[in-house]
Amino acid sequence: MKLFLSQIKDIDKMPYYLNRLGELNIEDNNVVLNYQLSGNTSNKGIGGGLTIQDGDALGNDVTFRIGSLNTLTDSVLNISEYTNGSGYTNLGFVTELNDIVLQNTSTTSMDGVRVIKEKDIINGGTLSGETAYSGSNRYMKFLVKSSEQTGITPSVSDLLPGELMLNIADGKLFTLKGGSGNYEVIEIGSSISNNPSSGTTSGTTSSTPTIQNLVWTSPVGTSNIERYPSYGYYDYSHSMFIIRASELGSGSKLLHGLEIEVGGYTNGYTYNNQTIKLAHISDLEFGDNVKVDLTNINGVANLTSVKSGFNWAINGSGYQSIDFDTNFEYNGNDSLLIIWENRDSDWGSGFGWAECHFDNTYYDSWFKYQDNSYPTGYGTKDQSYRPNFKLKY
């Protein structure tokens, strides 16, 4: 027995018809099922749901299924603008077209997918028991959390992967980093870790430092070491030095020059074709198997040629000042690597030495020198001596 839509005069009787027929076949490809919300829809249902299929057996049949009709009150939904006082039918529906899935199978929760209007505000809730932003009555979960209290940061348990937390008072944005069982909270726009269990912080600060016309001075010694920073007895030399963050003090610094203490040079002695480079590294000292090309130095970042191809004329003993052509922004957290390349290509008499500090705690220095060509490959790490430096910032 065929049943036409025109025969169903009252939507309340649809469950009766479906119970009798088992299914309702609709052959029209343009079907609109419409119901005026003028009556009371409470305690009405259509059993397991309503399924519409094209049923032409050509290719993949298209199915649209409506299921789990839930009636929630206005007070539960907090969306009175969508209802007329008779209750709001919260439909969970899915499609097998693989383009849209909107589903809500709970009769007591708003969790799920909602279609929002242009003026709607997506609100993920708050931290510290704060009242949500008053401009929104849509409490969408797992999108963005917020706080208006200074210093509030989320913990790992506050966030889901991909979820954000905005501290409005501090202007900071947080999210999770890592994998399952190994997440930590990070601040977006800064690589500073906010994981309380880590006990450490690393990365760069968010503010840009400026020149303060100050000078940092390294520990001072009186050891005369000819190989630093350039070795005049050989055609070429390559030396490197590490200054740790614990020595430089807290806070970022805009480095615009350095001074190095020398002695024993003939007045006016000149090294040609010198280059100074700076970089951030994570190592506290030089390890084994370090090479000229920085192989086996960990965490090298922001490698910068601060002064390239210059001729260095040494006038007398004492600190020699060199101003950079390119400033270097030290981040205040990592170790600072100083690289000194001597590409003079010819040795010359009258060379002297750098005044160095002796300390056998760390391998602070590294060197390699040779004639005829610029050195490559492995060199020697030095646990004893590092030149007396001053950094201008």
Backbone angles phi, psi at 349, to 5 degrees: -70, 160
Which DSSP symbol is given to 193?
B
pTM for the full predicted model: 0.51
Provide the pLDDT for residue 193: 40
Provide the pLDDT for residue 341: 97
Greater confidence (163 vs 39) lies with 163
Domains of the chain: 5-102 (no CATH), 116-201 (no CATH), 215-392 (2.60.120)
Q: What would you report as the CA-atom Rg of the chain, rounded to the nearest whole angstrom?
A: 36
Banded pLDDT at 188 (limits 50, 70, 90)? confident
- Evaluate if residue 48 carries a pLDDT over 70: no
Q: Alpha carbon of 171 to those of 54, 86, 152, 185, 202: distances in Å?
A: 53, 43, 11, 16, 20
pLDDT above 70 covers a percentage of the chain that reads 59
- Evaluate if residue 287 carries a pLDDT over 70: yes
Provide the pLDDT for residue 33: 43
Greater confidence (266 vs 163) lies with 266
Backbone angles phi, psi at 13, to 5 degrees: -90, 0
* pLDDT tens column, 322-347: 999 999 999 999 999 999 999 999 99
- Evaluate if residue 69 carries a pLDDT over 70: no
Provide the pLDDT for residue 124: 59
Provide the pLDDT for residue 250: 82
Provide the pLDDT for residue 169: 81
Mean of the per-residue pLDDT values for the chain?
A: 74
CB 147 within 8 A of CB 127: yes
* pLDDT tens column, 127-165: 766 765 544 444 444 457 888 887 788 888 888 777 788
Please spell the DSSP secondary structure of 268-284, one letter per residue.
TEEEEEEEEEEEEES-S
Residue 125, phi-psi category: left (phi > 0), alpha (psi -120 to 50), beta (remainder): left
- Evaluate if residue 122 carries a pLDDT over 60: no
Banded pLDDT at 105 (limits 50, 70, 90)? low
Number of neighbouring beta carbons within 10 Å of residue 42? 10
